[in-house]
Structure 1
Amino acid sequence: MFNVIKSWIAVLLIALASQAMAQITQKVVDIPTRPGVTQRMLVLAPPMAKGGVVLFAGGHGGLQIFPNGSLKWGDGNFLVRTRQLFADQGLMVAVVDAPSDRQSPPYLGGFRQKPEHVADIKEVIAWMREESKATVWLVGTSRGTQSVTYIATELSGQEGPDGIVLTSTILVDDKSRPVPAMPLGKIRIPVLVVHHVQDGCALCEFAKVPTLMAKLNNSPSKELLTFNGGENNGDPCEAMAYHGFNGLDREVVQQIAGWILSK
């Protein structure tokens, strides 16, 4: 009888877990930001969210999200492809596209460090904070780290994020200002830096990470999280290389989420 009871309890727990997972549905949300401009996002909202994350893809950032939630570009990007994994950790997720007035090339190219980008994401943060009833973090990968860092230097308090996560940070750049060249002393929120030791992208050489960490001197809590191994395919600056944590998705997301929730 005792074994039967244990079996029924196990079945019940699995059913409850499955039900909770099934409730994490993806939807497309458009919010007004600047006059005549809207910001489109893919949103995943688990019940009773423990926190919220706004995810910024790398590259040109123009996901071109269709009303049905499919993407014209960026499906393989590290943060885009792992959005469900973040939601599975109990985090409300918003994957941001380029805004409505940047839906053609160069999309977010040349826009990531502009006041208009800050204005758009300020409204995203406010929306996420209201919807999730929790803290809101900005998480960027590759060129997305330029968006996240710039916004964190421009917005603070209730208007800004509660913390930021930088994955595969742009450390040098001859086209725009790299992250270490930004006024990082203005950032007074927790910062998690996540980097692959074997990142082969010339803009993200691991040896330059200590320079970044040293400049985050006013953050109340900063940490470097490193990874090795996985799979390395194709262009060293793309998502299927070490640069995109290929083969390590679940481990990387779990550790990022754990750090966020510990704060």
Structure 2
Amino acid sequence: MHCFSARAARMKWTLVLAAACVVAAGQSCAAEPPADVTVTRGETIDVGGTKNILIRPAQPKGSIILLTGGDGRLNVMPGARFNAGADNVLIRNRDAFAAQGYNVLLVDLGTNLAAAVDTMAALKHPVIVVGTSKGTQRAAEGLAQGAKPDKLVLSSGFLSAASGEGDSVMSLLGSPQRLPPTLVIHHRDDHCRWTNPAGVAPFATWGGRQVQVAWLSGGQDDAENPCRFSAHHGFAGQDEAFVSRVLAFVRQ
């Protein structure tokens, strides 16, 4: 009887802990840590004291720098490995850019963009910075601090006050004179509250002849997570069209 009572008490306590974990973290305590991803033909390099991953084709035509969205973390490790952000539209299409003959740099949080541009410029011009979602804010911050890429791509961007809450590319740059030739890629049905499609037109007007706009439609949406990779915001189901628009601009 005593043994049964003790076992029951332990079981009850285990259930309490599990329930507490679900309430506090929004997921089960048994959730496994994210798996490491190894980048094919990649190498981990140091850029201004921060680990990034570089993919180098045999005869590069130029260099593309990828700034992921969200909190910007990839958690880059030695051996061209990372374990965060693999589903982001830029990161999941890294091989598609490299397959077309471009050096590709996967940028981790904390990387100085000017240092990244200089690193890639030493390998091959032109250097194109591509940012998506909150990565567009980091791109603007880098340009404001002196980074000078040859071209810029802003997808699902925090572009203007009409985009929604938060710092916009316009407010962070202050002047359109800091813009290199720029492509905006946006989904017509992006429902993320920070990247409303209404923010595109004011940005294009502000940037003038420096700015081109490419709209995408269709694909897959995720009504419950409108700001995620699985929604129009993340160009779900449109990887080929997305990569094609970026590369067409890069080749101009």
Q: TM-score range by the shorter chain?
A: 0.7 to 0.9
User: Counterpart of 2:249?
Assistant: 259
**Is residue 2:51 matched to residue 1:40?**
yes
Look up the equivalent residue of 2:44 and give its one-letter code.
V
Q: Percent identity?
A: 28
**2:164–2:196 CA contact under 8 A, matched in 1:** no
**Is residue 2:122 matched to residue 1:130?**
yes
- Please report the TM-score for the alignment, with normalisation by the length of structure 2: 0.77
Report the number of matched residues: 208
| 1:230-245 alignment runs, 5 A limit | 230-233=219-222, 234-245=224-235
**2:60–2:102 CA contact under 8 A, matched in 1:** yes
Q: Any idea what SS the aligned residue of 2:125 has?
A: coil
Return 5+ residue gaps in structure 2 as ranges. Answer: 1-39
Look up the equivalent residue of 1:71 and give its one-letter code.
F
**1:170–1:179 CA contact under 8 A, matched in 2:** yes
**2:113–2:139 CA contact under 8 A, matched in 1:** no
Q: CA deviation at 1:134?
A: 1.5
Structure whose alpha-carbon radius of gyration is higher? 2
User: Counterpart of 1:72?
Assistant: 83
Match of 1:30 among 46, 52, 60: 46
Q: Any idea what SS the aligned residue of 2:50 has?
A: strand
| 1:106-145 alignment runs, 5 A limit | 120-131=112-123, 133-145=124-136
**1:49–1:134 CA contact under 8 A, matched in 2:** no
**1:89–1:254 CA contact under 8 A, matched in 2:** no
**Is residue 2:202 matched to residue 1:211?**
yes
Q: CA deviation at 1:170?
A: 1.4
Which ranges of 4 or more aligned residues in structure 1 deviate by more than 4 Å?
none
Partners of 1:250 and 1:67 lie apart in 2 by: 30
1:75-133 Cα deviation digits (max 9, x unpaired):
1011111111111122110010013xxxxxxxxxxxxxxxxx6xx221111111112x2
Q: Any idea what SS the aligned residue of 2:64 has?
A: strand
1:166-225 Cα deviation digits (max 9, x unpaired):
000014454x422232314232420000000010101111122101111113xx532100
Partners of 1:79 and 1:166 lie apart in 2 by: 11
Partners of 1:146 and 1:186 lie apart in 2 by: 17
**Is residue 2:212 matched to residue 1:223?**
yes
**1:153–1:184 CA contact under 8 A, matched in 2:** no
Q: Any idea what SS the aligned residue of 1:181 has?
A: helix
Q: Any idea what SS the aligned residue of 2:137 has?
A: helix
Partners of 1:173 and 1:224 lie apart in 2 by: 19
**1:57–1:143 CA contact under 8 A, matched in 2:** yes
User: Counterpart of 2:193?
Assistant: 202
1:227-259 Cα deviation digits (max 9, x unpaired):
001111241001110001011112211221111
- Please report the TM-score for the alignment, with normalisation by the length of structure 1: 0.74
